[in-house]
Amino acid sequence: MILSQLDSDFLRYLLANGHTPGDRLPSLNEISATTGMSVGKLREQFEVARALGLVDASPRRGIVRTGYDFLPAVRLSLLVALAIDPGYFAAFSGLRAHLETAYWDEAVVLLTDEDKERLRELVRSAWDKLSVPRIQIPFQEHRELHLTIYRRLANPFVVGILEAYWDGYEAVELNTFADLGYLQAVWRYHEAIVAAISAGEVVEGKRLLVEHMQLLNARGAPMEMTAPVDALALA
């Protein structure tokens, strides 16, 4: 019943024939010969499947089935939306903020000691970049810190949306400029959040996370960690 709702002969073939991640598929010519579907139509539908991250192809390996990942589909849709109107990023950011808040308790308890040490390393790396005369924006550390907190969730849809957020963040170039006061405020929060996680203070960490989500709206102005919070926003 579900397969019949897919408007793609190639996707129905791919999902109905028991292929698992890592399996090598027949060539499009071979699939055409056994199914009766035209090679031209299969090629078009194959590209859709590849955009969804369900297959990969190379001259050496041919067509290979890959594992399911929500990220390719949501990232593609988000980037199209931002190309139409960059203002869509604010709406997507609101979704991300609510997801991080809603899944905080569930995610934090799954973190290992190695994860917590990784979070501390990211904080140290960010401060190193912000402490030199020619500062560097610690975008990768910012991205990796948030994703590390949520990556162990057994929910590919939540994780895919959170990963896509950072691709959108980069696409609208929020990673390329920031006031030093803003960056320092962000990383004071990150440092406090990681300290709370390390100490097992889940509620305090969540409170700090919610405050942290306010920072993007106040870019360009120095902020204190005790700044009042009105509603979830972006950071």
> Any idea how long the chain is?
235
Q: In angstroms, rounded to a whole number, what is the distance separating the alpha carbons of residues 216 and 133?
A: 24
Q: Are 194 and 187 in contact (CB under 8 A)?
A: no
Q: How far apart are CA 110 and CA 155, in angstroms?
A: 13
Closest CA to 202 of 107, 113, 122, 120: 107
pTM of the model: 0.85
pLDDT tens for the 235 residues of the chain, in order: 688 788 888 898 888 887 889 999 999 999 999 889 899 999 999 999 999 999 999 888 899 999 999 999 999 999 999 999 999 999 999 999 999 999 999 999 999 999 999 999 999 999 999 999 888 999 999 999 999 999 999 999 999 999 999 999 999 887 777 778 888 989 999 999 999 999 999 999 999 999 988 765 554 333 344 333 333 333 5
Cα separation of 139 and 235, whole Å? Answer: 11
Give, in words, the CATH class of 3-65: mainly alpha
CA–CA dist 233, 217 (Å, integer): 7
Start-end ranges of CATH 1.20.120.530 in the chain?
71-218
What the block records as the tokens of 41 is 């139509």
Locate CATH 1.10.10.10 in the chain: 3-65
Distance CA 49, CA 34 (A): 19
Which of 211, 215, 203, 140 is closest to 178 using CA atoms? Answer: 215
Read off the tokens for 230.
């009105």
Cα 52 from Cα 73, distance rounded (Å): 5
CATH class as words, domain 71-218: mainly alpha
Amino acid at residue number 138: P
Q: For residue range 61-77, what is the model confidence (pLDDT) as tens digits?
A: 899 999 999 999 999 99
Rg (CA), the chain: 22
